[in-house]
Amino acid sequence: DAKTTQPNSMESNEEEPVHLPCNHSTISGTDYIHWYRQLPSQGPEYVIHGLTSNVNNRMASLAIAEDRKSSTLILHRATLRDAAVYYCILRDFDSNYQLIWGAGTKLIIKP
Amino acid sequence: GAGVSQSPSNKVTEKGKDVELRCDPISGHTALYWYRQRLGQGLEFLIYFQGNSAPDKSGLPSDRFSAERTGESVSTLTIQRTQQEDSAVYLCASSYRDRAAYEQYFGPGTRLTVT
């Protein structure tokens, strides 16, 4: 699986949008971009994933650059509950097992 | 519907004892994964099951670790002769299929403390 690079931490104010960046310059054409988050003392939680087109779901939006070398997870209106470590992970289309986890971005939400 | 469940939620054991951790995946999910997360660190892959295929054990850290899964249902992770370095949260995840397009759903984990 290709490597991703994320900032160690970010801060945002409550009820404001948050843009979490991820660089994956070595992405291949068949790599899916997955985002998970882990709240304190909980198991990881799936957020969103995509291949080429931007994606929206009830939790977030995923904006994928045209060259696919970077992506941005967008939380439209952050709440205190969104404080977590966010992981950006690439998974090859033919990869059939484990997610390879990096250090992620610790998101701090200020009330 | 019901998510992935794990038991026990917490386990304290003495060094040298054996422990068994249980995972109940989401019904209908054919893929099941075990990960380990040490305090303040990321997830480490341990083992993976897909349907009735032979499991991928490439992440198991030593022969003291083993896991079984019956068909597409419950899985147990066994650690024999536990050591203090085995202390961690053990996480189980399941997925509809084992392909990159499918997300993994995680259980709450079992926190293992070896004294």
Separation of first and last alpha carbons in chain A: 37
In sequence order, the 6+-apart residues with CB closer than 8 A to the CB of A8 are A103, A105, A106
Q: How confident is the model at residue B47 (pLDDT cuts 50, 70, 90)?
A: very high
Point out the residue among B45, B103, B109 whose CB comes nearest to the CB of A98. B45
How large is the average pLDDT for residues A19-47?
A: 92
Strand partners, A31: A92
Q: Is A68 left (phi over 0), alpha (psi -120 to 50) or beta?
A: left
How large is the average pLDDT for residues B42-51?
A: 88
Model confidence pLDDT, tens digit, residues A51-97: 999 999 999 999 999 999 999 999 999 999 999 999 999 887 666 56
A30-34, A100-104, B12-16, B28-32: the lowest-pLDDT one? A100-104
Predicted confidence at residue A28, as pLDDT, reads: 87
How large is the average pLDDT for residues B42-71?
A: 90
Predicted confidence at residue A67, as pLDDT, reads: 95
Which chain B residues have a beta carbon less than 8 Å from that of A103? Answer: 42
Predicted confidence at residue A101, as pLDDT, reads: 78
Find out whether the peptide bond into B8 is cis, omega within 30 degrees of 0: yes
Predicted confidence at residue B65, as pLDDT, reads: 97
Q: Do A49 and B103 touch (CB under 8 A)?
A: yes
How large is the average pLDDT for residues B1-8?
A: 89
The pLDDT mean for chain B works out to: 92
Model confidence pLDDT, tens digit, residues B5-35: 999 999 999 999 999 999 999 999 999 999 9
Predicted confidence at residue B1, as pLDDT, reads: 57
Q: Do B98 and A92 touch (CB under 8 A)?
A: no
Q: How confident is the model at residue A38 (pLDDT cuts 50, 70, 90)?
A: very high
Point out the residue among B48, B99, B103 whose CB comes nearest to the CB of A98. B48
Model confidence pLDDT, tens digit, residues B83-101: 999 999 999 999 988 777 7
Q: Do A101 and B105 touch (CB under 8 A)?
A: no
| Residues of chain B with a CB closer than 8 angstroms to some CB in chain A | 4, 31, 33, 35, 42-43, 45, 48, 50, 56, 59, 91, 93, 98-101, 103-109
Q: Do B108 and A43 touch (CB under 8 A)?
A: yes
Separation of first and last alpha carbons in chain B: 37
Q: Do B101 and A43 touch (CB under 8 A)?
A: no
Q: CA-CA distance, A87 to A12, in Å (whole number)?
A: 17
| Residues of chain A with a CB closer than 8 angstroms to some CB in chain B | 30-32, 34, 36, 42-46, 49, 51, 87, 91-104
3-state helix, strand, coil in chain A (%, to 5): 5, 50, 50
Secondary structure class of B34 (helix, strand, coil): strand
Q: Do B33 and A45 touch (CB under 8 A)?
A: no
Q: CA-CA distance, A82 to A64, in Å (whole number)?
A: 21
User: Torsion angle of alpha carbons B8, B9, B10, B14, nearest 10°?
Assistant: 30
Query: Is the pLDDT reported for residue A2 higher than 70?
Result: no
Q: Do A99 and B45 touch (CB under 8 A)?
A: yes
Q: CA-CA distance, A85 to A20, in Å (whole number)?
A: 11
How large is the average pLDDT for residues A20-47?
A: 92
Q: How confident is the model at residue A10 (pLDDT cuts 50, 70, 90)?
A: very high
How large is the average pLDDT for residues A27-49?
A: 91
Point out the residue among A32, A94, A98 whose CB comes nearest to the CB of B59. A98
